[in-house]
Copies of this chain bind each other. A is one copy, B any other.
Amino acid sequence: MRQAGRILPEYRKVRASLSGFKELVETPDRAAEVTIQPVDILGTDAAIIFSDILVIPEAMGLPYEMKEGVGPRFPEVISSDADIARLKVADGGELKYVYDAISLTRKELNGRVPVIGFAGAPFTIFCYMIEGKGSKTFSEARKWLHSTPESAHKLLDMITSSTINYLKLQVEAGVSLYQVFDSWAGVLSNELYREFCVPYLDRIAAEVDSVPNIVFAKSAYFALEDLMNTDFNAIGLDWTMNPREVHQLNQSKVLQGNLDPTILYGSDSYLVQKTKEMLSSFSGISHIANLGHGVYPDTSWEKVKLFIDTIKQHRN
C-alpha cells in the first residue's frame, strides 16, 4: 500500500525536520525510518521503500524537483533527439541512497516483514520526462508515439535499461519483491500499450527475475489481457476492474487490489462492509489485499488501520 505512510503524524514530523521531500528520499536512515512507520503503526504485512519513481530520470541526467503541495517538476524536459542524446543510461550506481535505505530498512525490520522495491514503468517515466510534470492528458508525451515513434522507442529503451539496472541493485540490497507502477498507462489504448509499453515491461520482468514482481497499470483496463500474459507474477487492479473477469484471462496470476481509496472517507461500518465485499470479490483467487490506488493524502490513518485490521481478521 504505497503512500500509506504519508498520512501518519509520525511521518509528517520527520518530513518537517528536513528541507523537503527529496532530502528525505536521499537520506537513507530517515527514509528507512518512514518506511518502517506503517509496519509499526498500521500493521502492514510488508514495507515498501520510501522513494520516488522520478529518481530514474534524475539518474539519467534529468533532475526533478518536488514542489510542496504541487507535485514534481522538471526544470528541463526532453523535447528532441538532441535532448535524448544528452541523457545516459543509468547504471544504477547513481542511486546508492536507495540501496542504503533498503539495507537499513531490512536490518532494522530484522525479518519481521519483507521489503518491497519499486520503479516507474518506462512509459510513465517517459511521460514525466517529456511533460515535466503531471497532466490530465499527457498529450505532449503521446504526440511522440504518433509523430516520432522511433525517438519514443529510443527513449523508452534507455529508461528500460536504466530501470533494469536500478531494480537489480534494489534486489541485491535486499528487496523481496518489486513493483512496477504504470501510473499514466490509462491515457493510451490497447494498440499503443502493446507497442510502447508491453515490450519494455517484458524486458524488465525477464531481466529482473530473481524475486517476484507486480505490475500495476492504473486505469489501463484495455491492457489487462496483455499484462496477464507478461511474466509478471502479480497484476495490480484499480477499483474499476473486476477481479473475476481479470482472473479468467490467466488463472495463474496473483491479483492485487482493489478497494476504492475514497471508501476510506466513509464511516467505520461502511468501510468494514466494503472491505469485506472487496475481499469476497477475490475469493478463490490468489490475492494481495490492497487499495486500488495510493492512499489519498487527507485520509485519516485510523481508517487505514481499520482497513488493514479487517483484512487480517478475514484472513485468520
Contacts and interface: CB of A to CB of B under 8 A. Distances in A.
A265 B143 contact: yes
Interface stretch (A25-33, A55-63, A131-139): A131-139
Interface string A195-236: 000000000000000000000000101100000000000000
B240 A190 contact: yes
B262 A240 contact: no
A285 B190 CA distance: 21
Contact of A146 (B139, B221, B270, B298): B270
Contact of A142 (B145, B188, B190, B262): B262
Assembly stoichiometry (copies): 2
Nearest to A238: B189
A112 to B, nearest CB: 32
Nearest to A144: B265
Contact of A219 (B147, B186, B267): B186
Nearest to A143: B265
Nearest to A137: B296
A262 B270 CA distance: 41
A122 B231 CA distance: 42
Contacts of A9: none
Interface string A245-261: 00000000000000011
Contacts of A219: 186, 219
Interface residues of A, number: 31
A188 B239 CA distance: 8
Nearest to A274: B146
Interface string A67-84: 000000000000000000
A260 B141 CA distance: 13
Interface of A: 134, 136-137, 139, 142-143, 145-147, 186, 188-190, 192, 219, 221-222, 239-240, 242, 260-263, 265-267, 270, 293, 296, 298
A240 B191 CA distance: 9
Contacts of A270: 146
B262 A146 contact: yes
Query: Sorted from nearest, which 4 A-B pairs have the closest CB atoms?
Result: A146-B266, A142-B262, A143-B265, A139-B296
B261 A139 contact: yes
A265 B137 CA distance: 14
Contacts of A296: 137, 139
Contacts of A190: 240, 242
Contacts of A298: 139
Given A139-B262, A192-B260, 15 more contacts: A134-B136, A137-B293, A137-B296, A139-B265, A139-B298, A143-B262, A143-B265, A145-B262, A146-B262, A146-B265, A146-B266, A146-B270, A188-B240, A190-B240, A222-B240
A143 to B, nearest CB: 4
15 contacts: A137-B293, A139-B262, A143-B262, A143-B265, A145-B262, A146-B265, A146-B266, A186-B219, A186-B240, A189-B260, A190-B240, A219-B219, A221-B222, A221-B240, A222-B242
